[in-house]
Amino acid sequence: MQICRRVFLRDFFRDRRLQMRLRIGLEVVGLVAMATAGAASNNELNDRLVNGSDQVRRDVLQFLIADSCHVARTFFNGIAKRGPAKGRAFSSDQCADGRAFMVMIPPRNEDTRIIECEKLKRLKLNSCFKRLRD
């Protein structure tokens, strides 16, 4: 049984349909990020997603989740401050069909990990759609 999937964000950029929308969105996000550089988290992709438009955030997360999911709701859980996940950002995302996923966004050029919230619940691990504890 596969518990989580590994996804490389660079594959997102190969999809030409989304490139133009993402490029415009990231340019806007880049301007916002430069204006708020003092609040950066050392996780550039997460900073772009958090500061980006809701549509850009949904497009990127929908690509990462794939699996025919139309992202209807996104929730930023936070950035892990300690332990093996230190520096990694977590986002919970709900599909229009009701399925939900937690996405781990690494601080550097590493692979993104995705797990279904139902599996997290069965394993009695962190709950989706709740802020990470400090």
The answer to whether residue 51 scores a pLDDT higher than 60 is yes
**Residue 63 and residue 71: Cα distance in Å, rounded?**
9
Cβ-based neighbours of 125, under 8 Å, separated by 6 or more: none
Q: What percentage of residues in the chain have a pLDDT greater than 90?
A: 20
**Residue 100 and residue 130: Cα distance in Å, rounded?**
13
Taking Cα atoms as reference points, which of 16, 12, 86 lies closest to residue 48?
Answer: 12
pLDDT of res. 31: 36
pLDDT of res. 97: 92
User: What average pLDDT score do residues 13-41 get?
Assistant: 48
- The string of DSSP codes covering 64-111 is HH-TT--EEEEEEEEE--SSTTTT-EEEEEEETTS-EEEEEE-SSS--
User: What average pLDDT score do residues 14-34 get?
Assistant: 48
Cβ-based neighbours of 116, under 8 Å, separated by 6 or more: 99, 100, 101
Please indicate, yes or no, whether the overall pTM of this predicted structure exceeds 0.85: no
